[in-house]
Structure formats: structure tokens, C-alpha cells
């Protein structure tokens, strides 16, 4: 297969088109504006729908309408815009609609900065909007993964009737990288017989709704959702372990910092340090069990969590998984400053020295 040079955001958009995205609704925000720009030109070429909405709130509600009517629907934005989408996302989760949401994260809080950051981990993995719900969260570490995950996200969403978030960052969105277009695994998907497509002879009306006014019914609905989340947790956990077989120190990182950590590990290994990387790929469901088992391994002395976040957000899930078996230190920057290889090497050496 030939390699092609693609900019992250444009590759994400093209990946969605190749995955059979029927409609895209978006609003400009740096650093993801190339996604709606690309879609505005190329969706109509494929006979598909593009609408530039008046706001992120409207965009996610257009997704709700189209997804509810049986379409493969997508929106993308960056952190402040994704905050605005949270209302729609909780309704989509409550009404059990499939859709794909790309967040090309930038620094916060508030307007923050337009540079890459990872401050939306809590928002993405804890639901983000009101109520008890979860979104599947896929975290690509490079443009190739972003392309693959966006394509697969549509199938995951359709399989579980649940929103899927692709949580990238401004670096992945803005960077150009060689990628290969290949077929992602296709899933056996249930029919969308629940969709509001017009009755067309059906003997009942289909209703897309998240309202369960009777408390007992709402309780039942929540338990139904919870059972679905348990099923997703059972089936969809993904992670990568690199050089962990003999590692004394294990970096934990996702997305861009995980990629930087690979170079740090190579340097440290050359100097004789036994270090590895544990990279969650699904941030929800979080790879809790494999990380717990890794923490139990005798050779693992400690973890070093690296995030583009001032005090860490994923580190909460790391702690829950490690359950105090081994110490966890942290290296992080927020506001668009990325941790460097040198910082990671230094932090790892310091942690290993203190452990002795």
C-alpha cells in the first residue's frame, strides 16, 4: 500500500467519508477548522450532507436529528466547542443514538489557548453532560490512528447505539504525516429499525427520546444503559504495552505524550534503564484490569504518568487501576506546552533514583 502525506484534520474528515458518514454538522474553531472546511467541499461531491451550523449547540443537535433518523452522523470541534456540545451529547446518550464526535483538544480552561492540550479527559471519560452515561473514547497517538479510529468509531457507535468520541489533540489535527489507507475491520451491525424514517407502513410510530418521566421507568432506563456500558467495557478495552516485560519504570500516557515517551524510552534503554510504556487507547472503557496486572508484576517498581495537563486527569484512573501497589509520579504541562523527551528522561531517572 502506498503512503500518502495528509494533514491530521483533513485525514480525519476523509476517513469519515470513507467510513460512510452520511452527514457532517460543524462550526469553526481552531485547531480543528480543517475538518468542516474539508467536509464542506467533499461531502457534497459524494452526495452527502454538510451544514455549517450557527453554533456547536446547534451542530450536535443536528447530529441528534440525523442520527435519530438513521444516518451516520458526525461533528467535530475543539475543547471550548465540545463544552457547548455536552448538552446534545447527554441527550444522544440518553436516546441511545450512534454518532461520532471528534475533539481536537486545545488548552483551557475557558478560551485557554489554541495549542495542543489534554485537559478534556475528565469531560470525555466521565460523561461531560448531566446524568449517568458514558461515551466510548478512542485516543489516537498519531494521524494513522486518528484515521483508523474515526472509521471504526462509526461501527462501534452503530453496534452499541452510543456516541463515540475520538479524543485527539491540536498536534494530531495540525500535523502532516504519512498514512496508509487500509480497510478497517467491519462489524456485523444491528438494523436501525428504531430510527424515525417515517412509518412507511410500519404498524407503530418510532420515537427518539431521552425523557422517562416516571421515576421507576427512568431507573430502569439507567440500568439498561449501565448494562450496555458493562458490555462495552467487556468487549472494547484497548491499550498498548511497549517494553513492559522487564520494565522497572512504566510511563503511562495517551495521545501525543505517549508518542514522545517512545523516544524517551529509546534513549533510556540505550543508557541501560529498564523502562516501558503503558498506553491506554480506549480512555473509556479504561484498561483497568491490564494495568492492575502490570502493577502487580514484580519487576515494575513504579509508574510515571505524563499528560498535557497541569496536575493530570488520567492519573486518577491510573491510581484506581494500580490500587496503591506501586508509587506513581507525574510530569505534566498545560496550556499548549508539550512535555519534551529530555524532561521525560530526567523525570524517569529521578524517579528510579528515589526508588533505590
Partner 1 sequence: MAIVYQKSAGLTDKELHYCPGCNHGIIHKLVAEVMDELGILDTTIGVCPVGCSVFAYNYFNCDMQEAAHGRAPAVATGIKRTHPNSPVFTYQGDGDLASIGCAEITHAAMRGEKFTTIFVNNAIYGMTGGQMAPTTLIGQKATTCPLGRTKEQAGMPIRMAEMLSTLDGCVYAERVCVTDIPHLNKAKAAIKKAFQKQLAGEGFTFVEVLSTCPTNWGMTPLKAKEWLTDNMIPYYPLGCIKDIDAPKAEVK
What residues line the site for partner 1 (CB under 8 A)? 22-23, 25, 49, 51, 53-55, 57-59, 61-69, 71, 73, 87-88, 91, 95, 196-201, 205-211, 213
Q: How far is the CB of 205 from partner 1 (least distance, A)?
A: 5
Q: How far is the CB of 336 from partner 1 (least distance, A)?
A: 30
304 within 8 A of 348, measured Cβ to Cβ = yes
170 within 8 A of 336, measured Cβ to Cβ = yes
Of 206 and 233, the one with the shorter C-beta distance to partner 1 is 206
Of 23 and 105, the one with the shorter C-beta distance to partner 1 is 23
Task: Choose among 24, 55, 68: nearest CA to 42.
Answer: 24
Return all residues near 305 (Cβ < 8 A) that are at least 6 apart. 251, 252, 253, 312, 314, 315, 318, 328, 329, 330, 331, 332
Return all residues near 152 (Cβ < 8 A) that are at least 6 apart. 19, 138, 184, 185
Of 66 and 338, the one with the shorter C-beta distance to partner 1 is 66
Of 200 and 234, the one with the shorter C-beta distance to partner 1 is 200
CA–CA distance, 181 with 148 (Å, rounded to integer): 8
Task: Choose among 116, 206, 100: nearest CA to 155.
Answer: 100
235 within 8 A of 287, measured Cβ to Cβ = no
Q: How far is the CB of 14 from partner 1 (least distance, A)?
A: 20
Q: How far is the CB of 90 from partner 1 (least distance, A)?
A: 9
Q: How far is the CB of 43 from partner 1 (least distance, A)?
A: 11
**Residue burial 2-18, b: 16+ Cβ < 10 Å; e: rest:** eeeebbbbbbbbbbbbb
Of 185 and 215, the one with the shorter C-beta distance to partner 1 is 215
Cell of 81: 466547542
Q: How far is the CB of 196 from partner 1 (least distance, A)?
A: 4
Of 23 and 300, the one with the shorter C-beta distance to partner 1 is 23
Amino acid at each position: 500500500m502506498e503512503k500518502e502525506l495528509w494533514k491530521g484534520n483533513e485525514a480525519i474528515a476523509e476517513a469519515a467519508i470513507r467510513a460512510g458518514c452520511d452527514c457532517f454538522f460543524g462550526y469553526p474553531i481552531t485547531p480543528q477548522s480543517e475538518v468542516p472546511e474539508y467536509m464542506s467541499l467533499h461531502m457534497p461531491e459524494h452526495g452527502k450532507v454538510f451544514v455549517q451550523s450557527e453554533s456547536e449547540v446547534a451542530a450536535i443537535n443536528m447530529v441528534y436529528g440525523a442520527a435519530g433518523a438513521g444516518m451516520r452522523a458526525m461533528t467535530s470541534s475543539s475543547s471550548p466547542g465540545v463544552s457547548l456540545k455536552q448538552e446534545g451529547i447527554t441527550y444522544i446518550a440518553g436516546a441511545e443514538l450512534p454518532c461520532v464526535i471528534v475533539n481536537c483538544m486545545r488548552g483551557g480552561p475557558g478560551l485557554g489557548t489554541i495549542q495542543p492540550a489534554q485537559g478534556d479527559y475528565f469531560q470525555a471519560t466521565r460523561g461531560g453532560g448531566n446524568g449517568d452515561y458514558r461515551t466510548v473514547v478512542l485516543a489516537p497517538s498519531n494521524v494513522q490512528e486518528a484515521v483508523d479510529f474515526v472509521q471504526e468509531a462509526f461501527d462501534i457507535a452503530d453496534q452499541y447505539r452510543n456516541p463515540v468520541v475520538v479524543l485527539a489533540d491540536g498536534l494530531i489535527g495540525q500535523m502532516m504525516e504519512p498514512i496508509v489507507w487500509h480497510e478497517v475491520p467491519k462489524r456485523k451491525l444491528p438494523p436501525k429499525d428504531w430510527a424515525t424514517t417515517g412509518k412507511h407502513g410500519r404498524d407503530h410510530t418510532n420515537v427518539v427520546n431521552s425523557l422517562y418521566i416516571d421515576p421507576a421507568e427512568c431507573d430502569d432506563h439507567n440500568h439498561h444503559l449501565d448494562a450496555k456500558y458493562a458490555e462495552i467495557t467487556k468487549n472494547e478495552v484497548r491499550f498498548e504495552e511497549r517494553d513492559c516485560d522487564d520494565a522497572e519504570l512504566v510511563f503511562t500516557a495517551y495521545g501525543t505524550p505517549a508518542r514522545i515517551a517512545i523516544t524517551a524510552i529509546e534513549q533510556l534503554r540505550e543508557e541501560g534503564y529498564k523502562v516501558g510504556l503503558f498506553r491506554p487507547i480506549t480512555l473509556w472503557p479504561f484498561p483497568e484490569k491490564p494495568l492492575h496486572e502490570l502493577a502487580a508484576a514484580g519487576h515494575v517498581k513504579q509508574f510515571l504518568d505524563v499528560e498535557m495537563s497541569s496536575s493530570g486527569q488520567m492519573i486518577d484512573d491510573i491510581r484506581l487501576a494500580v490500587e496503591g501497589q506501586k508509587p506513581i509520579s507525574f510530569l505534566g504541562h498545560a496550556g499548549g506546552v508539550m512535555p519534551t523527551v529530555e524532561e521525560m528522561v530526567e523525570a524517569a531517572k529521578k524517579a528510579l533514583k528515589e526508588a533505590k
